[in-house]
A and B are shown apart, each in its own frame.
Chain A
Amino acid sequence: MGFLSKLLFKNKTQSIVSGNSDSVLIKGDELKRSVDEVFGRSLFVRLVDGGSCNACENELAALSNPYYDLERFGIKFVASPKHADVIMVTGCITRNMLNPLLKTYENIPAPKFVITAGDCPETGGPFKDSYSVCGPVSKYLTVAMNIKGCPPEPEAIISGFLKFMDMLKTS
């Protein structure tokens, strides 16, 4: 099979469904239903890295690889805060990044929610005692949910979004 035809006809996203009840796709189906219900079919997320080690960004980028393909569930990382419903924060929040973080948050139209990804934005991680770190995020913004992990794996992030939807539905 040629390179192109293999790319076109070997679908990686489907190959992980079988047998595993906890698989991405099954979680994703639930997620899609929740996104449809709560946010009228799409949840837009703006990412701000407030001082991570870049592992979290790698995992967030991995969400759009063929294995996870987050956008098919209605969740999209967007370029402008003006388009976003959710601000996702990674990293320990350095003094230098505090202002850009708060400015980005201000520019998101209400209703808006803060979700943190990874241990650093929640606790400051190993950097919490540093002279140039002023986190955690909860000092400055009301955090709707923390997705734990160092870094959180893609499936944990998808589960996190699902939990966030449940929270919104019940509250």
Chain B
Amino acid sequence: MDKILINKHIIESNAFVNSADNLKGSGKYLLGIAAADERSLNSKFGIRYFFGGNNGIDEYSVKVDESFQSISKVCPAAKMYEREIYDLFGLTPDGHPDLRPLMLYPENWNSSVHPLRKDYNNSIPEMKRYGEYKFKKVLGEGIFEVLVGPVHAGIIEPGHFRFSLAGEPVLQLEIRHFWKHRGIEKVCEGKDFKEALDLVAKISGDNNVNITISYLEAVESILNLEITERAKYIRVILAELERIWNYVRDVAWIFMDIGFALPAQSLFALQEELMKLNKSLTGHRFLFNALTVGGVNFNLDSSKLKAIDNMINKVEKNIKECEAFIVNSSTVLDRLEFTGKINKKTAEELSLCGISARASGLPRDSRIEFPYLIYDKFDLKPALLESGDVFARTALRIKEIYVSKKIIGDLLFNLPEGDIAVAYENRTEAYKYAAGNSETPRGNAFFYVMADNDGKIFRLKYIDPSFRIWPSIQYGVLGNIIADFPLINKSLNLSYSGNDM
């Protein structure tokens, strides 16, 4: 399988607003926007827009000085990317409707310091208040606010949610994220491809295999490296195992949040068994460090294959029982149906991906749209539901566990012989770049990696599915009662760390 094909176009900034509109009309959707400080190359900043669609990925690149034309008004999904570029690079998106700081908080960061510029001198502003973050207010009689987080009641990552309510129904939800902004993209710069693996795995620990696959797609494409068939098979097996344990956990949390502890605990136990299987396969419960540049770090012998086979059969059996439970219980359906509905139109405008898109009727699955590794060998069809509610997202996860089980089952006893990793020379052309993508349990993970002439990373941009999907919750909760928010949140189960980076 060839690396994903990217159709490259060079554009003038001002013309792009119109073409972005046309693109959307032609069924293409925004995958991400990546900026890079290329002033050492051509004394300009490069901004690259990536659009996905039926014919692969289109890249539109534009060279800019200190500002560029915002496309947020025609393409709302661009809003967050443009705010991010404004924060980290200090480039102004002209015409952007909302330029509040995103990850560099005015509470502790001086807004004139832009850490992703190459001339940033590593000076870190003193820890003091530089400004105020303004939340959107809903005004009117009887309207009150409920503030949640950043530190939450349970064992959850930090994020701030601000509800405006009149009685029980939610009138507005505003999310403030990026509490966990760790500056991973900057830390990766100057590291070689192998060193960065450790950081890439820790973008979002529970999706690390799939995210690493996306990173390696980009890196191996820069290095012109073709890995062995066996390594590809093992990567896919691990990716699908990760998908299964993620989905089992997600469904368990749905039950937990509707107060149905019995099936929830049964699924948590199943998750634990899957983690133990991971440990027995690679020595790590989350499969950290299982993949490497040029292949994988460990082999699957017949006893391990047998263990995987037993486990996935067990998962299928348990999940079937669980599924019957959902469909036959009116109290479960009562909580799940019509809750947290995300319309197809909203999903389209926000360029959603993964389960969230498929539950709202958009057939987006990177394994099918932009196949990588050996996914083109399976005749995969996107699992689709139209209703866009919590029920749809739960039911889709259950459906897709069967799909993953079938993929693993097909591969297990057909593993081709061969080495698990190939040697490579860490040499790159200066400013050569490539994109990589993969379908994580949450959706499309997109990497854009640019090398320097020394085999090191010049610029790395990662777009997590959670980054795209988080804004959609603000629409999903409208009109729902606040008590259903945890359930709606869990039905999307997004990563805070992947979003915040």
A79 CA / B153 CA spacing, docked (Å): 4
Residue interface bits A59-87, CB-to-B below 8 A is 1, else 0: 11110111100000000010110000000
- A4-B262, A54-B157, A153-B285 known; 7 other A-B pairs, CB under 8 Å? A51-B182, A53-B208, A54-B205, A58-B206, A60-B155, A66-B265, A98-B127
Which one of B77-85, B269-277, B346-354 is at the interface? B269-277
**Chain B residues near A137 (CB, 8 Å)?**
none
Given contacts A77-B155, A130-B186, are A151 and B205 in contact (CB under 8 A)?
A: yes
Q: How far is A125 from B198 in the complex, measured between Cα atoms in Å? A: 10
A131-B124, A131-B183 known; A96 and B155 CB under 8 Å? no
B313 within 8 A of A: no
Please indicate the chain A residues that have their CB under 8 angstroms from the CB of B322 in the complex.
3
**A67 engages B180 (CB within 8 Å):** no
Of B184, B203, B263, B272, the residue contacting A67 (CB under 8 A) is: B272
Q: List 20 A-B contacts (CB under 8 A).
A: A3-B325, A51-B181, A52-B205, A53-B205, A57-B156, A58-B286, A59-B285, A60-B155, A62-B271, A65-B269, A79-B153, A91-B180, A96-B103, A96-B107, A96-B108, A96-B179, A131-B124, A132-B115, A132-B181, A151-B205
Q: Taking the complex as formed, is B204 at the interface, i.e. its CB lies under 8 A from any CB of chain A?
A: yes
Chain A hits for B495, CB < 8 A: 54
B324 within 8 Å of A (CB atoms): yes
Contact A66 to B182, CB < 8 A, known contacts A54-B497, A100-B150, A131-B124: no
List residues of chain A with CB under 8 Å of any chain B CB. 3-4, 7-8, 12, 47-62, 64-67, 77, 79-80, 91-92, 94-100, 104, 125-127, 129-134, 150-151, 153
A-side contacts of B103, CB under 8 Å: 96, 132
Are A131 and B288 within 8 A (Cβ)? no
Distance in angstroms from A128 CB to nearest chain B CB is 9
Task: Tell me the nearest residue of chain A to B157, going by C-beta.
Answer: A49
Q: Is the CB of A132 within 8 A of B182?
A: yes
Q: Complex formed: what's the CA distance from A3 to B249 in Å?
A: 19
A166 to chain B, nearest CB (A): 25
Q: Known contacts A7-B266, A127-B184; decide if A77 and B324 are in contact (CB<8 Å).
A: no
Q: Which residues of A contact B127 (CB under 8 A)?
A: 95, 98, 134
Residue of A nearest to B196 (CB): A126
CB distance from A2 to the nearest CB of B (A): 9
By a CB distance below 8 angstroms, the chain A residues around B180 are: 49-52, 91, 94, 96-97
Give complex CA distance A134, B126 in Å. 11
Query: Do residues A3 and B182 form an inter-chain contact, with CB atoms below 8 A?
Result: no
Distance between B48 CB and nearest chain A CB, rounded to angstroms: 23
Which of A79, A94, A129 has most chain B Cβ within 10 Å? A94
A114 to B: closest C-beta gap in Å: 15
B263 near A57: Cβ-Cβ < 8 Å: no
- Contact between chains at A100 and B151 (CB < 8 Å): yes
Q: Are B108 and A57 in contact (CB under 8 A)?
A: no
CA distance A59 to B206 in the complex (A): 10
A59 to B208, CA, bound (A): 15
- Residue contact B202 to A125, C-beta cutoff 8 Å: yes
Cβ–Cβ contact B108 & A130, under 8 A: no
How close is A80's CB to chain B, nearest CB, in angstroms? 8
Residue of B nearest to A91 (CB): B180
What A residues does B120 contact at CB under 8 A? 131
A53–B199 alpha-carbon span in the complex (Å): 10
- The answer, yes or no, to whether B154 is at the interface (CB within 8 Å) is yes
User: Is B205 a contact of A129 with CB atoms below 8 Å?
Assistant: no
> Which has the most chain B C-beta neighbours within 10 Å: A49, A67, A134?
A49
Task: Say yes or no: A133 contacts B271, CB within 8 Å.
Answer: no
Are A94 and B181 CB-contacts (below 8 A) given A53-B204, A58-B206? yes
Looking at the complex, which one of A52, A61, A67 makes contact with B497 (CB distance below 8 Å)?
A52
